[in-house]
Amino acid sequence: MRLLTHNMLSCNIKGVTNGFPLKLEADKWVTKEVDLNADFLRGIFPKIEWSALLAAARALGFAELPEQADASMLSSDDFLRRFHHALLELHVEEGALVCPETGRKFPINKGIPNMLLHEDEV
Amino acid sequence: MWYLCVFYHRLLDYRRPEVESLAQLFATEEINCETSSLVEWRLPENHHIDSPFHFVSLPSQHIARKIANRSLLVKGIYELWGQGTDYEELEKAIKEYPEDRKLPYLTEDSTFKIVVDSFGKVISSEEQNERIRGLTYIPFKGRVNLKKPDHKFWLMETDDYGSSNGLPPVVQKTIFFGREVGAANRSLLPTYQLKSRKYLGPTAMDAEMAFLMANQGHAGPGKLVYDPFVGTGSILVAAAHFGAMTMGADIDIRVVRDGQGPNCNVWTNFEQYNLPEPVGLLRADNNLPPWRPGLKEMFDAIICDPPYGVRAGGRKSGGRKLLKGAVGPYTVPDTKREGHIPSTAPYSLAECVHDLLDLSAKMLVMGGRLVYFYPVSREDGVMNSVKYPEHPCFKLISSCEQILSSRYSRHLLTMVKVGVYTKEMEEVAREKHREFKENHAKWLEEGNLHSAVFESNEGSKLDRDSKPKYRGKYV
């Protein structure tokens, strides 16, 4: 699971109001090289919740993202590379996503998070 | 500018929409223009709409070439130098065609090749050479190169392609002569054919159809394409081939996570073709998506084949017993929570399509495309005009029928997002979601396509001779 996906997910158990961002617990993660596409990064940047990305990247040991980010930084190649690396090249293979409100764990196995809710959470 | 467009004689309903979609894609990229009069069509005299020959008007030669080269169904787009009912007429027409349109392609330092093609008949190679020799009035100054010529010219003869292909007969013979501007790259098909795909499932999308869907969806570099019913990833493979970033979800964890082992799963399908793997794959329920509140306008295209219950039944979260309302929700004991596999319940077509439209309305960018298959019982299709799903955010661009059996066909629908997703729409969708939950059993009955397809059929209302035979051949 890459951090782009993590940035989109929340815990939607019935009644939960504060399910985002999910805390990232990674047992096994790798770096997988992905071709950088500046147009794609510039297009997706406005949709990203920066603080969630920052926290998740830190959980994986990548501390090179700026605390705050705004669109003007997208003209910098250096920023684009770091953004690209955090968003698309860090890949969690095993671990879990934890709901900040209920503590419910959504497992990640073989790179795929299981977001299906149990019968009583629906 | 007008061109001759010759199609392959298959998937007839899909041919013009493919050209129109690609025209829109390339015109937007180049001239940032989006007009409905981008593409115009005409038929040669006496030709039927299902004929392989069409005249098409496109914004420029550059765009015409890009369209043809990316398409799957265009045998060739040609700048027509002449046409006639016999070789004298053809010669006269070619001689009258403006010199400044011909000379640049006949220069000394260029290479060329002339192809003789025929429809509805066979021309022996002797006769072909004779035809070519008959063209000496055209001042070809370059050298012949049969393997990789700079310019390719086509001499196409058709008498009556009709009867052997099941089409209505054309009375008059027509001969066309044109310079090839572009042609489909069908060699993609043997490369990507399912026969050699590592990881397959029963509903994996046929390679040609997956490419057609990717073309309808405008998949390309810098775009993010989503498939909410990803399965083995066959549709995303086509999108990735055209350079798009891809993402997919499925409710069946075995298909998406496990596959058939570490060397045979969705990820390896992309590895097989040296394509970038999806940026995200997840197990999720389209009926209860895991997106954070406020997330919207993420995807450039949503391209999918929803489960409509004939070859694969759709599922959603909830568990049978809960939805029947008989028993309170099943609470998993804490000791069993880890590794618990939640039960799922059947997902009716109506609810599945409602959720897909709601998801797409919210998650597509403005101008983004939703491309999906919609099943139609042929009885209904013949008796009444089909009523496709609608949503205030979307405009229907095209529908292409593919007949699957005498009982039903699937229609590929292409919709474009033209309206913003509002809070009111979100409310309405939530209400509808509640209504589906409360009337669960009723929806399953009404939308039961499976029995319509597989039950024995006494007193079928469908008149088997109502449509021309070639369509019965599922072309």
Burial zone of B450 (CB within 10 Å; 0-12 exposed, 13-18 middle, 19+ buried): middle
Looking at residue B458, what is its pLDDT?
Answer: 47
Q: How far is B276 from B283, CA to CA, in rounded Å?
A: 20
A103 vs B439 pLDDT, higher one: A103
Question: B467 falls in which pLDDT band (50, 70, 90)?
Answer: very low
**pTM (2 d.p.):** 0.90
Given a contact cutoff of 8 angstroms between Cβ atoms, the answer to whether B304 and B232 are in contact is: no
Q: How far is A80 from B50, CA to CA, in rounded Å?
A: 50
Question: B466 falls in which pLDDT band (50, 70, 90)?
Answer: very low
Q: How far is B220 from B205, CA to CA, in rounded Å?
A: 19
What is the average pLDDT across A87-100? 95
Looking at residue B36, what is its pLDDT?
Answer: 61
Residues of B in contact with A113 (CB under 8 A): 282-283
Question: B396 falls in which pLDDT band (50, 70, 90)?
Answer: very high
Q: Is the peptide bond before A21 cis (omega within 30 degrees of 0)?
A: yes
Looking at residue B326, what is its pLDDT?
Answer: 46
Would you say residue B147 has pLDDT above 90? yes
Question: B160 falls in which pLDDT band (50, 70, 90)?
Answer: low
Residue A81's SS3 state is: helix
CA distance A66 to chain B (A): 23
pLDDT in tens, B288-328: 899 999 899 999 999 999 987 665 667 777 665 544 544 45
Q: Do B282 and A1 touch (CB under 8 A)?
A: yes
Q: What's the mean pLDDT when you consider all of chain B?
A: 86
The answer to which of A18-27, B11-20, B96-105, B168-177 has the lowest mean pLDDT is B168-177
CA distance A8 to chain B (A): 6
Q: How far is B154 from B132, CA to CA, in rounded Å?
A: 10
A119 vs B464 pLDDT, higher one: A119
- Give me the phi and psi of A26, to 5 degrees please: -110, 120
CB atoms within 10 A of CB B340: 11
Q: Do B285 and A43 touch (CB under 8 A)?
A: no
Closest chain B residue to A35, measured at CA: B276
Question: A37 falls in which pLDDT band (50, 70, 90)?
Answer: very high
Residues of B in contact with A40 (CB under 8 A): 221-224, 245
pLDDT in tens, A41-76: 999 999 999 999 999 999 999 999 999 999 899 999
Q: Do B293 and A10 touch (CB under 8 A)?
A: yes
Looking at residue B329, what is its pLDDT?
Answer: 56
The answer to which of B169-173, B357-361, B373-377 has the lowest mean pLDDT is B169-173
Looking at residue B357, what is its pLDDT?
Answer: 95
**Token representation of residue B169:** 């007969």
**Token representation of residue B141:** 């100054």
What is the average pLDDT across B104-127? 91
Rounded alpha-carbon distances, angstroms, from residue A87 to A31, A40, A106, B122: 11, 12, 20, 58
Looking at residue B170, what is its pLDDT?
Answer: 62
Q: What DSSP designation does B281 have?
A: E
Q: Do B282 and A115 touch (CB under 8 A)?
A: yes
The answer to which of A107-116, B167-176, B335-344 has the lowest mean pLDDT is B335-344
**Token representation of residue B24:** 């829109």
Instruction: Give the residue numbers in B contacting A (CB under 8 Å), as ranges.
Output: 221-224, 245, 247, 251, 253, 256-258, 265, 267, 276-277, 279-285, 288-293, 295, 297-298, 317-319, 322, 329-332, 337, 340, 342-343
Would you say residue B360 has pLDDT above 60? yes
CA distance A69 to chain B (A): 19
Looking at residue B459, what is its pLDDT?
Answer: 45
Report for B13-27, B158-172, B371-385: range of highest mean pLDDT: B13-27
Given a contact cutoff of 8 angstroms between Cβ atoms, the answer to whether B447 and B348 are in contact is: yes
Question: B276 falls in which pLDDT band (50, 70, 90)?
Answer: very high
B364-377/B394-403 β-pairing: unpaired
Q: Which residues contact A28 (CB under 8 A, 6 or more apart)?
A: A92, A93, A94, A95
Percent over 90 (pLDDT), chain A: 89
The answer to which of A52-56, B403-407, B438-442 has the lowest mean pLDDT is B438-442
Residues of B in contact with A33 (CB under 8 A): none
Burial zone of A110 (CB within 10 Å; 0-12 exposed, 13-18 middle, 19+ buried): middle
CA A51 to chain centre: 10
Report for B6-15, B252-261, B372-381: range of highest mean pLDDT: B6-15
- Quote the ipTM score: 0.95
Residues of A in contact with B250 (CB under 8 A): none
Looking at residue B146, what is its pLDDT?
Answer: 93
Residues of A in contact with B279 (CB under 8 A): 2, 4-5, 34, 88
CB-closest option in A39, A112, A119 to B342: A119
Looking at residue B311, what is its pLDDT?
Answer: 59
Q: How far is A28 from A61, CA to CA, in rounded Å?
A: 12
What is the average pLDDT across B387-402? 93
